[in-house]
Amino acid sequence: MVGFVFFNFLAGKGINQLVKDNDDFQNGQIYVNNVLQELIDESNSLSTLLNSIFLEKATTESIKNKVSGLRSFIRELPSGAGYSTISDDVIRDIASISLTLDEIYRNAETLGGIEKENAQFPQQASLLSQSIEKLNDQLSGLLKSQNIAAAEYLNNIGLLKKAIKGGMILRTSFIFLLVILVYVYIMRRLGSSIRKTLKFTEQLAQGNLFAKSELQSEDEIGMINASLEELKNKFKSVISSLLEISQNIEVASNEFRSGSQVISDGANDQAAASAEISAAMDQISSMQKQLSSDAHKTDDIAKMAFNGIIQGAESVENALTVIEEIAQKNSVISEISYQTKILSINASVEAARAAEMGRGFAVVAEEVKRLAESSQQSASEISKVSKKGVNITRESAIELRNLVPEFQKTSELVNEIAKAGEENVITLDQISLTIHELNNIIQQNASSSEELTASSEELVRLAESLNSLVGFFKIEEESNAISQSSDQQEVGNDVDDQFADDKNSYSNWGNQYNEKSSDHVSFSFDDDEPNTILSEMKSVEVDASLSGSEPVLEEMEVLFAEKQVKPSPKSARKSSNIDDSITKPMAKGVRINLSDNDNFDDQFEKIR
């Protein structure tokens, strides 16, 4: 078998050599023919020159030149491209031609030295002619022998081809059969391995990491399978941990999302609640102010009552003196009635002495006595009552006196209540302020948590997309059909230039602003004093005059709405209020540039 292959190899090589030799020969043949043809042409032109030699002396010079040209042509032949293909015989012939050329040169030189009229001239001319003829003969002989050699060569080749041809057919069919046999052998041997490997790699390409190589062999393909198996296992462990991680991320980010939603909701509720508290605080604060002013009024009333009591006490004391005076006057009456009684007794005695004459008088005296006794009794009764009155009045005077410090105390207490109320108002204002600040913080928290929620949604989305990407790989056979990557969204290639930016190009900023800002003036959000009806009324006039036909009534309604919209002025502050400086409505898409902006710098200083 091996011997046969070797033989075939040699035969093949022989044929190749033959074909190569044939090609070389043909190339050499063409080259030599070309060279010879050139030489023959030159030598012919030499003969032509010789014919004219008798006419012109200069012709010998041209022959010499021609011959020099031919010699250098021959000298340069070895550096020509086809020279290597020329056979040694031909090279020898060319060398002899070179010698002939030297001869021609010498003859031409001699001829050139002889005058035309010289007797030696014809002899010398014929010598030159002979040498040129010799060249011609040599050249044509060479050409002839070349042609003969070529014909012989071709003939030999034909014979050789014939000889080889018979054996070749047999060998070629044998080789063909052998190739088929070898192919079948190799295919039977390797085909199934390759198919198994292919199946395995296809499964891997589809992401089935549970696939197993069915090939168990020791050869190279078996080694490839083993390496693939190893790669797959490594990949599998990486992917399974990646899958686990990405699922964890999805779960965690979902939890994060719901957590942040809870926070967000809580923050919003908190914000609402704090706003409510804030309103309640405002209410309490105003009630406290009311209470405080009530306490002040109470204090005033108490002071009035205090004065009244002091006056009352004084009046009672005055009354006491009067009553005491009455009592005193009463004792005088009592004295008088006692003396009257004594007098009436004396009158009775005198009437008894006058007997019958004084009987009437005695009656009068008796009556006077009775009156005196009665007035004495009344006087003593008055005395008793006035004594009682004095006591009572004295007691009430004392009681009134005792009341004074009590009232003083009450007044002081009420005063303290009023003061405490005022302090409360201050505290409440501070609380209110703190709640407002708290409110701001809560609002910020609400914003933050909302943003957190949005971010967490993005995170969930990323986790899901990661999950679906990793999900391409199947770790276990239970998994269902291979899902295509969900992430292959169409990318916005359709860049249409529908937005003609030129009309809004940056260079228009300034102009736009000027236009819009002058429009804007008529909105009547005036810079200086926004909250006086008067200025609004003025601006209505301005607006009406600007807008021409628009009825004033409508404008009034709008202004009414504006008035409601404006944030309530918290308290009278400076006119350039920082908090209010941001409420101006601006035109869209133009640069904001208000001249009042630098004014606020007055309220700031360099940081030390």
Partner 1 sequence: MSYSDAVNIYSQQLSEAEFKRIQTFMLDSLGIKLSPIKIVMVNSRLIKRLKCTGITNFKDYLDYAMSPEGKKSGEYECMIDELTTHKTEFFRESEHFNFLREKILPNVKADRFDQFKIWSAGCSTGEEAYTMAMTLSEFQLVNTGFDYIIYATDISNASVMKAFRAIYNKETVRSVNQNLVKKYFLAGKDDNENKIRVVKNLREKVHFSILNLVDDYFFQNNSLDVVFCRNTLIYFDDQSKREVVRKLIEKVKPGGYFFVGLSETVTQYSTAIKQVSPSVYVKIS
Window 245 to 274, contacts with partner 1 (CB under 8 A): 261, 264-265, 268-269, 271-272
Window 553 to 572, contacts with partner 1 (CB under 8 A): 557-558, 561-562, 564-565, 567-568
* Residue 548 engages partner 1 in binding (rule: CB under 8 A): no
Report which of 562, 587, 471 is spatially closest to residue 209, judged by C-alpha positions.
Answer: 471
Work out how close the CB of 258 gets to partner 1 at its nearest, in angstroms, rounded to a whole number. 10
Window 269 to 308, contacts with partner 1 (CB under 8 A): 269, 271-272, 275-276, 279-280, 283
In angstroms, the CA 35 to CA 39 distance is: 6
Q: Which two tokens stand for residue 355?
A: 């007997």
Window 410 to 469, contacts with partner 1 (CB under 8 A): 444, 446-448, 450-451, 453-455, 457-459, 462
**Which residues, other chains included, contact 136 with Cβ-Cβ below 8 Å and sequence gap of 6+?**
40, 43, 44, 47
Residue pair 485/469 in contact by the 8 Å Cβ criterion:
yes
Which amino acid is residue 179, in one-letter code? V
Q: Quick one: DSSP state of residue 189?
A: I
Work out how close the CB of 298 gets to partner 1 at its nearest, in angstroms, rounded to a whole number. 25
Work out how close the CB of 597 gets to partner 1 at its nearest, in angstroms, rounded to a whole number. 7
* Residue 493 engages partner 1 in binding (rule: CB under 8 A): yes
Which of 38, 487, 519, 541 touches partner 1 by CB under 8 A? 487
* Residue 373 engages partner 1 in binding (rule: CB under 8 A): no
* Residue 533 engages partner 1 in binding (rule: CB under 8 A): no
- In DSSP terms, 474 is beta-bridged to 208
Work out how close the CB of 592 gets to partner 1 at its nearest, in angstroms, rounded to a whole number. 5
The residue among 143 and 558 lying less far from partner 1, judged by its C-beta, is: 558
Work out how close the CB of 538 gets to partner 1 at its nearest, in angstroms, rounded to a whole number. 18
Number of chain positions touching partner 1 (CB under 8 A): 74
Taken as a whole, the chain contains a residue count of 608
Of the candidate spans 24-32, 58-66, 204-212, 487-495, the one that interacts with partner 1 by CB under 8 A turns out to be: 487-495
In angstroms, the CA 276 to CA 477 distance is: 60
* Residue 525 engages partner 1 in binding (rule: CB under 8 A): yes
Of the candidate spans 33-41, 81-89, 145-153, 503-511, the one that interacts with partner 1 by CB under 8 A turns out to be: 503-511
Work out how close the CB of 515 gets to partner 1 at its nearest, in angstroms, rounded to a whole number. 14
Of the candidate spans 29-37, 313-321, 366-374, 506-514, the one that interacts with partner 1 by CB under 8 A turns out to be: 506-514
- Tell me how far CA of residue 582 lies from CA of 53, 198, 445, 467, 596, in angstroms: 119, 71, 22, 47, 12
Residue pair 474/208 in contact by the 8 Å Cβ criterion:
yes
Torsion, CA 370, CA 375, CA 377, CA 382, rounded to 10: 170
The 589-608 contact track toward partner 1, x by CB under 8 A, reads xxxx-x--xx-xx-xxxxxx
Window 91 to 120, contacts with partner 1 (CB under 8 A): none
The residue among 71 and 584 lying less far from partner 1, judged by its C-beta, is: 584
Work out how close the CB of 242 gets to partner 1 at its nearest, in angstroms, rounded to a whole number. 18
Work out how close the CB of 558 gets to partner 1 at its nearest, in angstroms, rounded to a whole number. 6
Residue pair 422/292 in contact by the 8 Å Cβ criterion:
yes
* Residue 527 engages partner 1 in binding (rule: CB under 8 A): no
Residue pair 135/101 in contact by the 8 Å Cβ criterion:
yes
**With 0-12 CB in 10 A as exposed, 13-18 as middle and 19+ as buried, what is 84?**
exposed
The residue among 48 and 595 lying less far from partner 1, judged by its C-beta, is: 595
φ, ψ for residue 527, nearest 5 deg? -70, -35
* Residue 181 engages partner 1 in binding (rule: CB under 8 A): no
Work out how close the CB of 257 gets to partner 1 at its nearest, in angstroms, rounded to a whole number. 10
Work out how close the CB of 580 gets to partner 1 at its nearest, in angstroms, rounded to a whole number. 10
Radius of gyration of the chain (CA): 74
63's enclosing H/E stretch is: helix 58-76
Number of C-beta neighbours around residue 409 at 10 A: 11
* Residue 501 engages partner 1 in binding (rule: CB under 8 A): yes
The residue among 275 and 327 lying less far from partner 1, judged by its C-beta, is: 275
In angstroms, the CA 6 to CA 12 distance is: 10
The residue among 188 and 606 lying less far from partner 1, judged by its C-beta, is: 606
* Residue 361 engages partner 1 in binding (rule: CB under 8 A): no
Work out how close the CB of 551 gets to partner 1 at its nearest, in angstroms, rounded to a whole number. 14
Of the candidate spans 18-26, 60-68, 323-331, 499-507, the one that interacts with partner 1 by CB under 8 A turns out to be: 499-507
The residue among 255 and 451 lying less far from partner 1, judged by its C-beta, is: 451
Work out how close the CB of 505 gets to partner 1 at its nearest, in angstroms, rounded to a whole number. 6
Work out how close the CB of 212 gets to partner 1 at its nearest, in angstroms, rounded to a whole number. 36
| Exposure string for 570-596, b = 16+ CB within 10 A, e = fewer | eeeeeeeeeebeeeeeeeeebeeeeee
In angstroms, the CA 98 to CA 157 distance is: 33
* Residue 499 engages partner 1 in binding (rule: CB under 8 A): yes
Number of C-beta neighbours around residue 72 at 10 A: 10
- Tell me how far CA of residue 389 lies from CA of 311, 317, 376, 378, 457, in angstroms: 20, 12, 19, 16, 96
Q: Which two tokens stand for residue 140?
A: 């044509």
Number of C-beta neighbours around residue 257 at 10 A: 20
Q: Quick one: DSSP state of residue 477?
A: T
Work out how close the CB of 282 gets to partner 1 at its nearest, in angstroms, rounded to a whole number. 8
The residue among 264 and 376 lying less far from partner 1, judged by its C-beta, is: 264
Q: Which two tokens stand for residue 269?
A: 């509720």
Of the candidate spans 91-99, 121-129, 291-299, 502-510, the one that interacts with partner 1 by CB under 8 A turns out to be: 502-510
**Which residues, other chains included, contact 202 with Cβ-Cβ below 8 Å and sequence gap of 6+?**
none
Report which of 438, 497, 495, 487 is spatially closest to residue 463, judged by C-alpha positions.
Answer: 487
Residue pair 131/107 in contact by the 8 Å Cβ criterion:
yes
The residue among 353 and 503 lying less far from partner 1, judged by its C-beta, is: 503
* Residue 508 engages partner 1 in binding (rule: CB under 8 A): yes
In angstroms, the CA 72 to CA 66 distance is: 10
The 573-592 contact track toward partner 1, x by CB under 8 A, reads x----x--xxxxxxxxxxxx
Q: Which two tokens stand for residue 157?
A: 């080749």
Work out how close the CB of 272 gets to partner 1 at its nearest, in angstroms, rounded to a whole number. 4
The residue among 60 and 264 lying less far from partner 1, judged by its C-beta, is: 264
The residue among 45 and 465 lying less far from partner 1, judged by its C-beta, is: 465
